[in-house]
Amino acid sequence: MQATAAVRPSHVPPELVGGFNLMDDPSMLPQPLGDPHTAIARLLDGPPVFYSLNMTRNGEGAWIVVRAEDQRRVLQDGATFSSNRNIFSSALGENWPLIPLEIDPPEHGKWRSLLNPLLSPRRVVNLEPIVRQRAIDLIEGIKAKGTSCEAMSEFAFPFAVSIFLQFLGIGHERLHEFVGWANDLLHGTPAQRTEAAKIVVAYLDDLQALRRREPADDFMTFVTQAEIDGRRMTEHEVKSMSVLLFIAGLDTVAAAIGFDLLYLARHQAEQELLRAEPNRILLAAEEMLRAFPTVTPIRRATRDVEVAGVLIKAGDLIACPSMTANRDPAEFTNPEKIDFAREDNRHVAFAYGPHRCLGSHLARREVVIGLEEWLGRIPTFRFKEGHLPTVYGGFVFGVEDLVLAWD
């Protein structure tokens, strides 16, 4: 969609318009070895709430809520701050919400309750051997090819996608197709995103039809047989839920692993510490989730409301970047320090409130297992000479061209 010119809404005081936005601020643009997390954390030195122009791909502005306490208030109140934005369907020229992400309370609760057992801690424990074996297979395949790799395309993305395929009940033989679709959907041009969205929806529709005829022990069978309000889910509802699983399970996990490997490549002493004492990896992974979160939840105000003394009008967008909340000195001691011994780490890398990431238990285990197996099987690694990774901001932060080498 073509962005419109940035215009300050009449109800936004000029003094509350900030010069920063996630889409094109110079510190957020892709750059070799940049640090978008530290860049956005500098917002904590300014006003707690300000207005940013052109915060979305179609040119809408949004209020930026900077502090963790104010973000919690916004994200907890699903009635006042709606998540119903229909972002994915709009790329198709349609208008339907992802379930349950874009469903507001109280309807949201019944959908969330339906899915909770599928991604419970107990279910994740049962999936762990599969997750670990997939990490081992990918890493051993990388080692067999030599002493370097592009970690995002050869490990982080295939790892995250393969777990999604396992969960959905699809064989790994289509892994590279799905990785390509995911990259186009999340990082492609507008035309590539639209085309990838159409392909993904068509594939999931076909899989849904197959599982209605031939049930199996997988997610798609579960949702085609599940009941909501005493009835079976419709084909449209199953599609909406499946698309959400596809999106949510890919980019955030892959990006988290990418930022972890990037940090460890730059800090080899800490890399060696985790390799020598693998029992530290659990806390270290949690700390890197805090320091390098990837998402910025967006809400739309359903009524006029004040946040931190600022009047927000009904219809306004509100952005809650996890990067500022996770480096808020009111929440964390020495927030800029990456402390692998940090405990009671109440970060919001998986958001907050009723829409807190449903798959957080699985995502955590994927990240931890990925680090355990990588550090246990790959010797001391560094950036390959002549190759610098590119990091980028935006609504989902990420890493590209992460070429690592080892002896």
Asked if pLDDT for residue 286 goes beyond 70, the answer is: yes
**What percent of the chain is predicted at pLDDT more than 90?**
66
Quote the CA–CA distance of 337 and 333 in Å, as a whole number: 9
What was the pLDDT predicted at 28? 81
- Residue with the bigger pLDDT between 325 and 169: it is 325
Quote the CA–CA distance of 325 and 217 in Å, as a whole number: 39
Tokens of 354: 């009723």
Quote the CA–CA distance of 14 and 148 in Å, as a whole number: 51
What was the pLDDT predicted at 122? 86
pLDDT-derived band at 168 (thresholds 50, 70, 90) equals: confident
Tokens of 269: 């002493």
Q: What tens digit of pLDDT does each residue of 26-45 get?
A: 778 788 888 899 999 999 99
What was the pLDDT predicted at 5? 52
Q: What tens digit of pLDDT does each residue of 339-394 get?
A: 999 998 999 999 999 999 888 999 999 999 999 999 999 999 999 999 999 998 88
Asked if pLDDT for residue 276 goes beyond 50, the answer is: yes
C-beta separation of 136 from 377 below 8 A: yes
Asked if pLDDT for residue 21 goes beyond 90, the answer is: no
What was the pLDDT predicted at 330? 97
What average pLDDT does the segment 304-319 reach?
97
Sequence-ordered list of residues with C-beta below 8 angstroms from that of 20, at least 6 positions apart, any chain = 40, 43, 52, 64
Q: What tens digit of pLDDT does each residue of 87-128 get?
A: 888 878 888 999 999 999 889 999 999 988 888 888 888 889
* Region of poorest pLDDT, from 64-68, 207-211, 277-281: 207-211
Supply the pTM of this predicted model: 0.92
pLDDT-derived band at 3 (thresholds 50, 70, 90) equals: very low
What average pLDDT does the segment 188-214 reach?
90
What average pLDDT does the segment 3-16 reach?
82
- Residue with the bigger pLDDT between 120 and 289: it is 289
Average pLDDT over all residues of the chain: 90
Q: What tens digit of pLDDT does each residue of 222-235 get?
A: 889 989 999 999 99
Phi, psi of 191, deg, nearest 5:
-65, -40
Buried b / exposed e over 114-137, threshold 16 CB at 10 Å, is bbeebbeeeebeebeeebbebbee
Asked if pLDDT for residue 69 goes beyond 90, the answer is: yes
pLDDT-derived band at 252 (thresholds 50, 70, 90) equals: confident
The amino acid occupying position 88 is F
What was the pLDDT predicted at 308? 96
- Residue with the bigger pLDDT between 126 and 5: it is 126
Asked if pLDDT for residue 248 goes beyond 80, the answer is: no
Quote the CA–CA distance of 32 and 18 in Å, as a whole number: 26
What was the pLDDT predicted at 7? 84
Q: Which CATH class is domain 14-329+341-406?
A: mainly alpha
Asked if pLDDT for residue 278 goes beyond 50, the answer is: yes
Residues linked to residue 317 through DSSP beta bridges, in sequence order: 300
Buried b / exposed e over 208-240, threshold 16 CB at 10 Å, is beebeeeeeebbbbbbbeeebeeeebeeebbbb
Pairing of strands 298-301, 81-82: antiparallel
* Region of poorest pLDDT, from 42-51, 78-87, 183-192, 385-394: 183-192
| CA torsion angle 339 340 343 347 (round to 10) | 70
DSSP 239-292: HHHHHHHHHHTTHHHHHHHHHHHHHHHH-HHHHHHHHH-GGGHHHHHHHHHHHS
